[in-house]
Chain A
């Protein structure tokens, strides 16, 4: 990066640096540059923060004062946030009304953010059928279980081959003339016939690949939207997430909500079952999960100093058609 590029790089970040928005490495780089560059230092001085008790909690008075121009020039994320704030802040609406302005910001497609700021697009209604199984699995345990299943399958196959051999030999030696009891291709480890298909009994199932959910909302905030690309409805979904920070013996309720906020399923577990590397498997064989928005809510109540403290984390995720 030459000197001119460095100036531009610094200049583009000065405002963010003044607002404390840069990470340590970037901030350090800017500070090092300012120490050497008088021109950039003068620019940075012009942006010195004016700290105020309620900075950022309401629309800037200077913006409210120039509202007609602001309506034309606010764009992108900022425009969406200003509109969202006006919808819920009576004080800012009153400020605008006092100056004779309409306390709202119109939707102008050319100025809007590409993605909605606060809420995901409404999803199609989901069948309210209950999932069949909700369980927590450990990735390590699943691998161990898979190994055990393969070993068991191999052992059974060996045993079956021995049985087959013995049966055939016995039939040939002692019951010559009658049909063999077991022949290759028969369900040697069958415990009952499946309704469809020639194979029955034990089956090996491929578990869904677990998807990690991030950005939980605690309290009343809005969670990050986790997008999970899917092809068609899902009969099984595995979700990984960070457990609540509560004592091991606490009872945690896990709820799966649809886009409308209706609970599709809820189940309670002890916190110790949410050990690291475990994930939640949702099986909905009879009513697969269709593409759309969902929320996974973990809720627990713990008692501290004789007082019940509610802890909650809400993960948003969207099954999006590929």
Chain B
């Protein structure tokens, strides 16, 4: 979800007050109906996973902020989740190139297209979590960059030059590359030496 989308959801959640408690089963049924409207017929097989995803997003939202209008919130989440799912479907296939010899050596290259979750979100998680365990400064940089700040904004906020930040990030990436050199996962293909 992008920042604008999150704003939409926040606005929706702040609509006219409704019953504040959320009944799980009812919320699931509501989201399922909404997804039915949003998704094309060819994507109906994804509905179960997407209902779950909507519920996780809702849980995360209500942890952070008070929700006044649950129905509006769920409608927005369902819509955004459906759009993300459609985008995501093309993401994995974009990354899987069966004519790539290195991918062809994987036991089942096409199975990569069935990988769960969003590849970019998964890579972002791997990066942040890796630095959480290794280097707090690298983690700060990664979180700021993934939040859409860009290196120039990060440098400005830190009162340091863009070059210094770039060099520091380059050192951070070196650490990750070293750790991922022999990794067999699909997200870290780029880290392997040629």
Contact = CB atoms under 8 A, between A and B. Distances in A.
Contacts of B1: 50, 52
Contacts of A115: 179
B145 A47 contact: no
Given A117-B133, A220-B136, A56 B143 contact: yes
Interface residues of B, number: 77
B128 A57 contact: yes
A58 B125 contact: yes
A218 B132 CA distance: 12
Given A65-B50, A70-B117, A77 B143 contact: no
A15 B179 contact: no
B118 A60 contact: yes
A6 interface: no
Contact of A221 (B6, B136, B147, B183): B136
Interface in B77-108: 84-85, 87-88, 90-91, 94-95, 97, 99-100, 102
B190 A13 contact: yes
Contacts of B133: 81, 84, 117-118, 221-222
A15 B81 CA distance: 21
Contacts of A94: 59
A76 interface: yes
B53 A65 contact: yes
A218 B131 CA distance: 12
Given A47-B91, A76-B185, A63 B175 contact: no
Contacts of B102: 12
Contacts of B131: 221
B60 A22 contact: no
Nearest to A21: B173
Interface string A73-109: 1111111011011000001001100110000000000
A91 to B, nearest CB: 7
Interface in B1-23: 1-3, 5-6
B134 interface: yes
Nearest to B172: A21
Contacts of B175: 215, 224
A113 interface: yes
A12 B188 CA distance: 9
A128 B135 CA distance: 29
A268 interface: no
B137 A58 contact: no
A64 B56 contact: yes
A54 B6 CA distance: 11
Given A62-B116, A77-B183, A55 B146 contact: yes
Contacts of A62: 49, 53, 84-85, 88, 116-118, 121
Interface of A: 4, 8, 11-16, 18-24, 43, 46-47, 49-67, 69-70, 73-79, 81-82, 84-85, 91, 94-95, 98-99, 113-115, 117-118, 215, 217-224
18 contacts: A11-B95, A11-B100, A13-B189, A13-B190, A20-B146, A20-B151, A21-B173, A21-B176, A47-B119, A60-B125, A62-B121, A63-B116, A63-B122, A67-B116, A81-B126, A84-B133, A221-B133, A223-B134
Given A63-B125, A65-B55, A78-B188, 10 more contacts: A19-B124, A52-B1, A52-B6, A57-B125, A77-B180, A84-B129, A99-B55, A99-B56, A117-B130, A215-B134
